[in-house]
Structure formats: C-alpha cells, structure tokens
Structure 1
C-alpha cells in the first residue's frame, strides 16, 4: 500500500534558550530534521513525505531537502494555528488511498523498525499508536486535592501515529477542540478506537538542551 509520512515540524526554540527553531538545531553537524527525514525515507523506498513547517521557515526546510535528499519524494506545506491545523494542512495534500504516518519532526531518534511495526499493525487494525511504560509514580490532581494513581494504567504516547487514510482523513474534517493534542484524540472524537503498539525508549522528543546531548550520545552508539 502507498505510504505517506506527514512530518510536523512547527516548534520554536523557546525551551531550548535558542532563537533557532529546534528542528534546525545541529546534532553532529546536521539538523535535527535531517535525521527524521532520513529514517522515514530509508524505511520504505516507496514512502513519500509531506513536511509541514511554519511559513517563515519553509525556505530553511527546502535547503535541507536540496542538500541531502531526493526532492521528488518530499513536498512542503505551511503549518497552521495549532498542531491539529498543521496536520490538517498536510493531509489536504493526500489524494490517494494510503497508510499515513504522522510524526513529530523533532523525534529524530526513531528507528526504521518502529516505522515498520506501526505500518504492519495499522494494516491489520487500521491504526497504530506507539506508547511506552510510565516508570514514575503518578498522582491525580483533583479540585483541591491529589491522590496516587496506578502507573500501570498509564502509557506515554509517542509518534509516528499511523492510520489508514480512510480513517484519518475523515476524522480531521471535524471541528477543532482544545483536547486534540495528537491524532489519536482526533480519531477517538470521530468515534473510533485506536490500537496501541510498543514504542521505543530512545524515541525522544527534542525539547530541552539536554535532549540534544542525549541524541548525540545515541547517534554515537
């Protein structure tokens, strides 16, 4: 089946204490976004990418593509007001039935194995959302109190969240709500259940300066 990765890279450098958006920060001499794009392109030879960037950073994204990749497999579109709207803009470019991976551009340490696991699960179940175990103690906040919560009932959600286009495209035609923090919440609001698969501990999201150090160490290994 045709495969399309919608890679959303709309972050800023605020928490990085850097004026450069985090997707363009360097790890071992290459931008964070380079590693994300490369892993997807290497995973399947027939996979195409829709890269969603803030309009003011489209030129920088194009420079990365021109320097390292086959531009025929990647197209760029502008992001929207929220993640929901950015994904919506990316999905608008999909015209054929396909399997859709939606991925955070700054989760640059994902592996080809995880992409393939998500694809195979989505082929069978229609969706695949990678999650990892919660290792910390959890407390549930109430109006004026808090209480311990069973961490075994909690999963930490990652990307790529993967769906058949027949599921994801109609789901993203519903009205936006603040609770839509990822694609799974949108699909659930559309009335469908999502299937969970095991994610990867190293599939970290680059949000703080220490994450760059961790990613560089993982790459060295």
Structure 2
C-alpha cells in the first residue's frame, strides 16, 4: 500500500531557549529535521514525505531537503496555529488511499524498525500508536490532594502515529478542540479505539538542551554498533 509521512516541524521550540527552532538545531553536523527525513526515506522506496514548516523557515527547510538522500520524494507545506492545524495542512496534500505516519520532526532518533512495526500494526488494526511504560514513580494532582498512580497502567505516547488515510483524514474534518493534543486524540473522538504498540526508549523528543547531548550520545553508540 502507498505510504506517506507527515513530518510536523512547525513548532517554535521555546523550551529549548534558542533563537532557532529546535528542529533546525545541529545534531552531529546535520539539522535535527534532516535525521528524521532521512530515516523515513530509508524505510521504503515508495514512501513520500510531507514536511510541515513554520512559514518563516520554508527556505531553510528547502535547503535541508536538498541535502537528503532523495529530495524528490519530499514536499513542503506550512504549519498552522496549533499542531492540529499543522497536521491538517499536511493531510490535505494526500489524495490517495494510503497508510499515513504523523511524526514529530524532533523525534530524530526514530528507527526504520519502529516505522515498519507501526505500518504492519496499522494495516491490521487501522491505527498504531507507539508507547512506552514510564520508569519513574507517578503521582496525580487532584482537588483532594495527590495520589500514586500504578505506572504499569500508564503509557508515554510517541510518534509516528500511524493510520489508514481515510480514518485520519475523516478525523481531521472535525472542528478543532483544545483536547486534541495528538493525532490519536483526534481519531479517538470519532469513537475509534486506539491501538498501542511498543515504542522505543531511544525515540526521544528533542525539547531541552540536555536532549541534544543525549541524542549525540545515542547516535555515537549506534555508529559503533
């Protein structure tokens, strides 16, 4: 089946504390975005990419795309006011039945193995959301104080969140709701059960300066192995 990846790179990266959005920061000599794009390009030869960028960084994005292994398979569009609107803009570029991956550009350590597992699970069940179990103790704040959560029942959600195109495109016809924090929450509002699969601990999201250092170390270890 045809495959598309919508790579969401529309954020401002304020928590990183840099003038340049985090998706454009250097990681081992290449922008963070470059690493995400190339991994998806390697996953299959028939996978096309739609990268969603901030309007002021389209030219920067074009320069990054030109250095990837197959620029012809990448299309650029601009982001919107929220993640929901940015993803919706990307989805409008898809006009055929397909499996669609929606991925945070700053999860630049994504592996082809995880991409393939998401694809197979989505083919079978309609959607596939990678998730990992937390290792920290968790407590939840309530009006009556806080209490312990059973971490064995909690999952940390990752990307790529993967869906049949007809499912996710129909979901994004719904009006925006502040509860839409990711694609799974949008699809779930249609009444469609969300299917979790095992994610990867190394599939971190570059959010703070320490994450860049960690990503550098992971890439270094990957090269050695």
Q: TM-score, normalised by structure 1?
A: 0.98
Partner of 1:105: 105
Distance 1:58 1:135 in 2: 38
1:183-202 aligned within 5 A: 183-202=183-202
Quote the offset at 1:120 in angstroms.
0.3
Give structure 1 stretches of 5+ with no counterpart. none
Deviations 1:86-130 (A, max 9, x none): 000000110000000000000000100000000000000010000
Deviations 1:28-48 (A, max 9, x none): 110000100000000111000
Quote the offset at 1:138 in angstroms.
1.3
Quote the offset at 1:176 in angstroms.
0.8
Partner of 1:3: 3
Deviations 1:126-166 (A, max 9, x none): 10000001111111211141111111110000000000011
Partner of 1:90: 90
Distance 2:176 2:24 in 1: 28
RMSD: 0.8
Partner of 2:24: 24
2:75 counterpart SS class: strand
Distance 2:15 2:165 in 1: 34
Distance 1:27 1:71 in 2: 20
Distance 1:51 1:120 in 2: 23
Deviations 1:181-214 (A, max 9, x none): 0000000001101111000000000000010011
Partner of 1:175: 175
Q: TM-score, normalised by structure 2?
A: 0.96
Number of residue pairs aligned between Structure 1 and Structure 2: 221
Distance 1:120 1:12 in 2: 33
